[in-house]
Amino acid sequence: MEQFYIDEHKHYGRPVRATGPDCVKDPIDRTAEELACYDLLDELGIVYTRVDHSAADTIEACHRVEQVLGWPICKNLFLCNRQKTQFYLLMLEGDKVFHTKDLSKQLEVSRLSFAGPDDLQEHLGLKPGSVTVLGLKNDKENKVQLVMDKPIFEGAFVSCHPCISTSTLSLSTEDLLKKLLPAMGHEPIVVDLPEDEA
């Protein structure tokens, strides 16, 4: 099993390509899609912090990222109706248990389920494990509706991947709502999903 890597330092802004013999090599191969996320955030004047890590695919790994980031990781789910005519990007707290019936009822959409990898690639240009609100920049035809659970909407910050799961960013919710989403042509629906009953 490959050991989970995390840079224990919180960085401010985009990664800087190191040059010169004394510079430390960036351990992550940055993709064009990731760099485009930083370009967009910088263009909009959005301040963000960044933690670099290997793919965080366990709860333990996510909690380690949260400790460095200083803010809880937001869970992002890509959903659709049975006919695959409506698509939704849901942002909710990382530890919150999600039941499709609760969201279906609030959105008045029957039979919500998880959309497949092909749909994710087609609509948001993303791969499984890298689902993020920043993927909405690829949804030029507005076929994906953003849905935010109330605690995320009301929180001071949101966390998200820069279209790849090897970094996690934190930015203010105000910047998300007032700068980033308008620039991407999206507006959220806010829901209030119940806590899982013990």
- The dihedral of CA 34, 38, 39, 44: what is its sign? positive
DSSP structure string for 53-79: BS---SHHHHHHHHHHHTSPPEEEEEE
Coil vs helix vs strand at 41:
helix
Strands 87-93 and 144-149: parallel
Res. 24 pLDDT band, cuts 50 70 90: low
Lowest mean pLDDT among 16-30, 148-162, 171-185: 16-30
Coil vs helix vs strand at 180:
helix
Res. 175 pLDDT band, cuts 50 70 90: very high
What is the CA 119 to chain-centroid distance, rounded?
Answer: 17
Instruction: Output phi, psi for 105, to 5 deg.
Output: -65, -45
Cα→Cα distances 184→12, 18, 147, Å: 23, 30, 15
* pLDDT computed for residue 197 by the predictor: 60
3-state SS of 101-131 is: HHHHHHHCCCCCEECCHHHHHHHHCCCCCCC
* pLDDT computed for residue 61 by the predictor: 85
